[in-house]
């Protein structure tokens, strides 16, 4: 039985009075803009009342934190019981340098590691590949072999600190996560003690950061499921995938698309793992999500809440899990990089603070705050410290952690949450009608949807409809850059020398054996991570693994434009 | 009939970001310019394709920070092939101090973050008139 929260008679009266107010009072005043809408295009009214929530059933639609449908949060106590993880992204140059940055951030109070890898590593190339020399160490840390992984985490208590590996693409993840696991075992830390996350999202490889040497969508998807399966069996505290809505959004999609694409991806992975013989409750509690916090404050909070509710409903309907954790949408948030400006870069501190506030009011489990210089370069020590301090100020000084889901019950926010959920649902239905997420990627549909949305967004910036301070309004002419920019330390030489040394020292017979095992494993459809956690121990490099995979599976020509 | 302006657009090296380059490509196409978008490429391929396609411009995009290494290479290779008349422009994340370096290397114009699309279209249209 359902029961509307508000008394029908009263709602009727409020509705009537509201219309009168709108027609006779509000309409006598001028508005500044012609139309009011959210960043993703939801129309916004001047005022919301119980009339907008006339069918809201509190227990069914909102409930309590830690209970279905989890709109109000996945934990009963939320930040009163445990604060969100302060997980600042870091990575640049050779592992020797990034190791220092990790230690610096941990020493300054970061509570988790968030390691990003350089472009060649993300795409599965070694540093000595002739096509990558200009990008080694850029955008992240360079990892070629298990030796780099050893150096990257040297002196860091990996049995205590949770580590997020921003491996993005499955072709990177399958090797790099294997190196992390094998390195942990070499250090005497058993896999079942390791806490962390790997990104491992096939959409990253086939629709979001498309690049040379992409494996076909089906293969990329399969590699991501291999990692999920491996962790399900051996590393139960590890989140083997982090559906990377953040990056879909950075590439240009809207808020509801961000959530819908992630959930469609999670549904596909669940179906595949079930096909492989696993019970939903064995792996689903470890599926995790990664979202953006963009400029539209309320829309973002509504997005997080709607995502929790619709995920709970969908998982329940499709897979009927018994473990409530299989229904929980747990997520990390990064403040929107795409919202930062190169102009007047210190303004980005203000932007990222609002973004982070939205993430926390939306109930994020873990947050990264962007540094003020990220539209110009990799963060310096000062800018990354300022970003970390932004989180610490939010947590300890503002009081926002005192109440669970403090904006729940707002007529506007609840109404927007409903609209958001409805829209996510219709995108999901569209993806279903096309045969699921892998098919939509193969068709190029996802890429088209995102690039069309990105273009529309830009048109709104161009027309001035979307003001961006310092870019299309409040500019400073001939601005002098008020900050020092990051300088990349020497990387290519160091990585190449290390690779040369490793290749000389390793046992070529063992390496060949490991490589052959990978090739055979591909052909036989075996779980490749099972082979690679062993294979990388003999210093098989990431590039060698990817080459072997590309040889068997071929490369895919992704949609470009 | 006048020949359309032709531009080859590429992302340099391993750079992952396509948002900017695709938006620019769409805007140029909407402005009547013929765009040949080739995705991620290394300089030698970019020059080869630009010559095959007989373009007036090459548009390079990168946000990874590889621009000081790869963009000047494109210019050098063009000169080697006697195709120095193809104008090369660059867009992406660039520190202000890098702009004069790129220009000195022969990049005709550099468009940093936040550049209005209109400015890029206008630049190309004007520069194309100069070419004729």
Mean pLDDT score, A107-128: 95
C-alpha triplet A171, A172, A177: angle, nearest 5°: 115
pLDDT of residue A63: 97
- Is the pLDDT at A4 greater than 90, yes or no? no
| Contact residues, chain B, for A125 at CB < 8 Å | 14
Minimal-distance CA residue of chain A relative to B73: A134
Q: Which helix (H) or strand (E) holds A199?
A: none
Mean pLDDT score, A160-174: 95
| Contact residues, chain B, for A133 at CB < 8 Å | 69
| Contact residues, chain A, for B39 at CB < 8 Å | 210-212, 558, 560
Mean pLDDT score, A299-312: 98
Mean pLDDT score, A427-447: 97
Three-state secondary structure readout of A477-531: CCCCCCCCCCCCCCCHHHHHHHHHHHHHHCCHHHHHHHHHHHHHHHHHCCCHHHH
Note the pLDDT tens digit of each residue in A190-232: 999 999 999 999 999 999 987 777 899 999 999 999 999 999 9
Alpha carbon distance B73, B65 (integer Å): 15
A114, A237, A334, A395, B59 from A86: Cα distances, Å: 9, 19, 11, 10, 39
B106 in contact with chain A, both atoms CB, cutoff 8 A: no
Domain extent listing, chain B: 6-131
Minimal-distance CA residue of chain A relative to B112: A342
pLDDT of residue A559: 82
CB atoms A119 and B13 under 8 Å:
yes
In chain A, the largest separation of any two C-alpha atoms, in whole Å, equals: 86
| Contact residues, chain A, for B20 at CB < 8 Å | none
Tell me the nearest-neighbour CA distance from B97 into chain A, angstroms.
Answer: 10
- Asked if B85 and B128 touch (Cβ cutoff 8 Å), the reply is no
Note the pLDDT tens digit of each residue in A34-61: 999 999 999 999 999 999 999 999 999 9
| Contact residues, chain A, for B37 at CB < 8 Å | 560-561
A462 in contact with chain B, both atoms CB, cutoff 8 A: yes
Minimal-distance CA residue of chain A relative to B14: A119
Note the pLDDT tens digit of each residue in A519-557: 999 999 999 999 999 999 999 999 999 999 999 999 998
Minimal-distance CA residue of chain B relative to A560: B39
Mean pLDDT score, A279-283: 98
pLDDT of residue A560: 81
Residue A49: alpha-carbon gap to chain centroid: 34
Prior bond to A178 cis, omega within 30?
no
CB atoms A211 and B66 under 8 Å:
no
Q: Which helix (H) or strand (E) holds A367?
A: strand A366-368
CB atoms A462 and B22 under 8 Å:
no
- Asked if A340 and A348 touch (Cβ cutoff 8 Å), the reply is yes
- Is the pLDDT at A1 greater than 60, yes or no? no
Dihedral sign for Cα A303, A304, A307, A309, please: negative
Domain formed by B6-131, architecture: 3-Layer(aba) Sandwich (3.40)
* Contacts across the A-B interface (CB distance below 8 Å): 103
pLDDT of residue A144: 98
B56 in contact with chain A, both atoms CB, cutoff 8 A: no
Please give the share of chain A, as a percent, with pLDDT higher than 90. 95
Minimal-distance CA residue of chain A relative to B23: A455
Of A378, A454, A488, nearest to B19 by CB-CB distance is: A454
pLDDT of residue A2: 59
CB atoms A472 and B116 under 8 Å:
yes
Note the pLDDT tens digit of each residue in A54-63: 999 999 999 9
| Contact residues, chain A, for B23 at CB < 8 Å | 252, 451, 454-455, 458
Instruction: Give which of A283, A289, A332 is closest to A113, Cα–Cα.
Output: A332
Looking at the domain A93-241+492-561, which fold is it? Answer: TIM Barrel (3.20.20)
Of B19, B66, B114, nearest to A134 by CB-CB distance is: B66
Alpha carbon distance A266, A275 (integer Å): 14
A39 in contact with chain B, both atoms CB, cutoff 8 A: no
Mean pLDDT score, A152-158: 97
| Averaged confidence pLDDT in chain A | 96
A507 in contact with chain B, both atoms CB, cutoff 8 A: no
B14 in contact with chain A, both atoms CB, cutoff 8 A: yes
Note the pLDDT tens digit of each residue in A326-336: 999 999 999 99
Q: Which helix (H) or strand (E) holds B47?
A: helix B43-52
pLDDT of residue B2: 72
- Asked if A103 and A155 touch (Cβ cutoff 8 Å), the reply is yes
**Tens of each residue's pLDDT in chain B, 132 residues:** 578 999 999 999 999 899 999 999 999 999 999 999 999 999 999 999 999 999 999 999 999 999 999 999 999 999 999 999 999 999 999 999 999 999 999 999 999 998 999 999 999 999 988 765
| Contact residues, chain B, for A120 at CB < 8 Å | 14
CB atoms B18 and A251 under 8 Å:
yes
B84 in contact with chain A, both atoms CB, cutoff 8 A: no
B42 in contact with chain A, both atoms CB, cutoff 8 A: yes
Of B16, B37, B117, nearest to A458 by CB-CB distance is: B117
Alpha carbon distance B106, B74 (integer Å): 9
Residue listed under structure tokens 């910036």: A461
Alpha carbon distance A121, A176 (integer Å): 8
B83 in contact with chain A, both atoms CB, cutoff 8 A: no
């Amino acid at each position: 039985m359902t029961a509307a929260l508000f008394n029908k008679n009263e709602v009727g009266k409020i509705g009537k009075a509201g219309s009168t107010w709108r027609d006779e009072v509000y309409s006598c005043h001028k508005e500044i803009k012609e139309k009011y809408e959210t960043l993703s295009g939801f129309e916004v009214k001047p005022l919301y009342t119980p009339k907008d929530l006339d069918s809201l059933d509190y227990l069914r639609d909102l409930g309590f934190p830690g209970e279905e449908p989890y709109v109000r949060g996945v934990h009963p106590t939320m930040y009163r019981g445990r604060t969100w993880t302060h997980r600042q992204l870091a990575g640049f140059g050779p592992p020797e340098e990034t190791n220092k940055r990790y230690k610096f951030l941990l020493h300054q109070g970061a509570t988790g590691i968030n390691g990003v890898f350089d472009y060649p590593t993300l795409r599965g190339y070694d540093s000595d590949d002739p096509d990558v020399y200009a990008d080694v160490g850029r955008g992240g840390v360079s990892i070629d072999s298990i030796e780099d992984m050893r150096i990257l985490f040297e002196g860091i208590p990996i049995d205590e600190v949770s580590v997020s590996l921003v491996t993005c693409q499955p072709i990177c993840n399958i090797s790099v996560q294997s190196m992390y696991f094998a390195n942990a075992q070499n250090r005497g830390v058993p896999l079942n003690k390791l806490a962390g996350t790997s990104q491992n999202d096939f959409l990253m490889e086939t629709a979001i950061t498309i690049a040379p040497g992409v494996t076909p969508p089906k293969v990329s998807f399969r590699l991501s499921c291999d990692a999920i399966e491996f962790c399900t069996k051996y590393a139960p505290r590890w989140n083997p995938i982090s559906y990377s809505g953040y990056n879909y959004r950075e590439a240009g999609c809207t808020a509801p698309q961000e959530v819908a694409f992630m959930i469609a991806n999670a549904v596909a992975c669940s179906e595949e793992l079930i096909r492989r013989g696993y019970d939903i409750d064995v792996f689903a509690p470890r599926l995790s999500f990664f979202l953006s916090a963009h400029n539209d404050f309320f829309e973002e909070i509504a997005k997080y809440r709607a995502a929790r509710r619709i995920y709970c409903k969908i998982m329940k309907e499709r897979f009927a899990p018994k473990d409530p954790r299989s229904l929980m949408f747990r997520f990390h948030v990064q403040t929107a990089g795409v919202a930062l400006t190169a102009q007047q870069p210190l303004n980005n501190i203000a932007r990222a603070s609002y973004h982070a506030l939205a993430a926390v009011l939306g109930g994020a489990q873990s947050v990264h705050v962007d540094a003020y210089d990220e539209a110009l370069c990799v963060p310096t020590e000062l800018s990354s410290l300022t970003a970390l301090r932004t989180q610490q100020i939010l947590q300890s000084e503002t009081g926002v952690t005192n109440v669970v889901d403090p904006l729940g019950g707002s007529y506007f926010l609840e109404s927007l949450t409903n609209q958001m959920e409805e829209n996510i649902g219709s995108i999901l239905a569209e993806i279903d009608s096309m045969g699921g997420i892998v098919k939509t990627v193969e068709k190029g549909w996802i890429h088209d949807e995102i690039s069309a949305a990105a273009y529309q967004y830009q048109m709104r910036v161009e027309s001035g409809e979307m003001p961006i301070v310092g870019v299309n309004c409040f500019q400073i002419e001939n601005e002098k850059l008020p900050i020092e920019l990051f300088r990349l330390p020497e990387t290519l030489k160091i990585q190449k020398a290390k690779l040369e040394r490793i290749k000389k020292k390793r046992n070529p017979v063992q390496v060949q054996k490991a490589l052959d095992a990978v090739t055979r494993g591909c052909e036989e459809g075996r779980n490749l991570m099972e082979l690679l956690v062993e294979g990388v121990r003999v210093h098989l490099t990431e590039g060698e693994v990817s080459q072997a995979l590309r040889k068997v599976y071929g490369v895919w020509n992704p949609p470009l434009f | 009939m006048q020949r359309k302006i032709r531009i080859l657009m590429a992302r340099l090296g391993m750079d992952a970001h396509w948002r900017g380059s695709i938006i620019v490509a769409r805007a140029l196409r909407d402005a009547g310019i013929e765009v040949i978008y080739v995705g991620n490429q290394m300089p030698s391929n970019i020059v080869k394709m630009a010559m095959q396609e007989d373009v007036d411009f090459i548009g390079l995009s990168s946000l990874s920070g590889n621009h000081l290494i790869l963009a000047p290479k494109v210019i050098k290779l063009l000169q080697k092939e006697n195709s120095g008349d193809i104008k090369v422009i660059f867009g992406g994340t660039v520190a202000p101090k890098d702009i004069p370096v790129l220009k000195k290397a022969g990049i005709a114009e550099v468009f940093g973050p936040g550049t209005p699309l209109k400015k890029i279209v206008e630049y190309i249209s004007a520069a194309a008139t100069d070419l004729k």
